[in-house]
Every structure is written in C-alpha cells, then in structure tokens.
Amino acid sequence: MPFWPFKRSQQQSMNTFLIVGLGNIGVDYHNTRHNIGFAVLDELAKQADVSFSTMRYGDVTEMSHKGKKLIFLKPSTLMNRSGNAVRYWKKQRKISFQNIFVISDDVHLDFGYLRIRKQGSDGGHNGLRDIEVKLGSNQYPRLRVGIGANFKKGRQADYVLSPWNTDEKRLLPVIVNRATKAVIDFVTQGLEKTMSFHNGEVI
C-alpha cells in the first residue's frame, strides 16, 4: 500500500487552484477596461478548449495542466459583490488562500503593465475590496493588469466601464496572452518565479 505524506483529499486540495477573473456580466460591459479579468479567463479557456457553464455565483469551467487542476471563475455578482462568488467557490472546492489567483484591472498602473503580488490592499478597487471583506483576509495572490488613468477627476467610473480605444484594442491581445502565461506559471512554477518572470511592462 503506497505511503501518502498527506491524505489524498489534502493532496487534491493542494493541487487545485481557483483562478478568478473580475468583471461585470452583460453585453453592456463586454470589452470594457473593467472586464480585463474576464478577457484573460476567456483566452485561457479558448487555449484549453473548454467552455464555461453558468453555475452558482458565476460562469465556471475547469482544465488540468501538469497534474494541477485549474478552476476558472467569472463572477456573475457584478464587480462590487465579487467576494460572494469567491467565498462560495473557495469553500465549495476547499481552496487554500495561497491557491487563489485574482485577476483585476488597475488604474494605478500604466496600460500594458502587469503586477503580481502575494497579498495586499484593494488599492481602491471595489471588487478586490469586497473579496477581502467576504474572505476576511487580503492574504491571497493577485494579478493586476494596468489600464492607465486617462480620465479627468471624478470620471474614473466612466473610464473603467468604457470600451478600449483603437490603440488599446490593437495591443490588448499581447497583454492578455502574457497574463495567461502568468496564470499558468503561477500554477506550475510558483508565485516567486511568476513575479520575477512577469512583473513589469509588457508592451
């Protein structure tokens, strides 16, 4: 009988990751800056040839890669209540904090800049704020994708909910593709190597 240093259920939990892309559901929000998290998960699902299904609190799909299971979650709660979805799927699939990876937009980073962190504050992002409140912790890894801050004072909400401009659309596939590689590296290479590989300017 083989010796397992952990119970099989514990091993499965350690090899299961919850990858959360933040955004807002509905055609009105499709291809907006605030939905970059959705865009990254859509590209990952396309590359893995898997399809999302509408389930509780969001659209969900799974893929396996090098012995790891990746659960992709696009919350259907709207951005400001993203924590409900993350909390539910974390509990449902018994995901540890260190195996959660949240992808969000960030107006504090230049367009095309990626920043991966082990933990941190919400930085004024409503989705990240709600996740921290609902989980009772900010001790989870996250990938922030820079969208720039080309807006006038008091117009941030309009900016993040507006579509990409022509120049951004042209460059967006490069950024999204780099972000998908960061997700896979996080799962297979670990957080520290992923930060060294991908933190910085993409374009």
The H-assigned helical ranges of 69-190 are 82-92, 126-135, 156-160, 166-189
- The domain made up of 8-201 has a fold known as Rossmann fold (3.40.50)
Annotated catalytic residue, options 30, 34, 65, 198? 34
* Statement: residue 3 has pLDDT above 60: no
Q: Which pLDDT value is given to residue 75?
A: 98
Per-residue pLDDT of 138-155, as tens digits, reads 999 999 999 999 999 999
User: pLDDT category, 163, cuts 50, 70, 90?
Assistant: very high
Q: Which pLDDT value is given to residue 15?
A: 93
User: pLDDT category, 11, cuts 50, 70, 90?
Assistant: low
**Maximum distance among all alpha carbons in the chain?**
66
**Distance, CA of 203 to CA of 188 (rounded, Å):** 24
**Catalytic site includes residue 198:** no
Mean pLDDT of the 43-68 span = 97
Counting residues of the chain whose pLDDT is more than 70, the rounded percentage is 94
pTM: 0.93
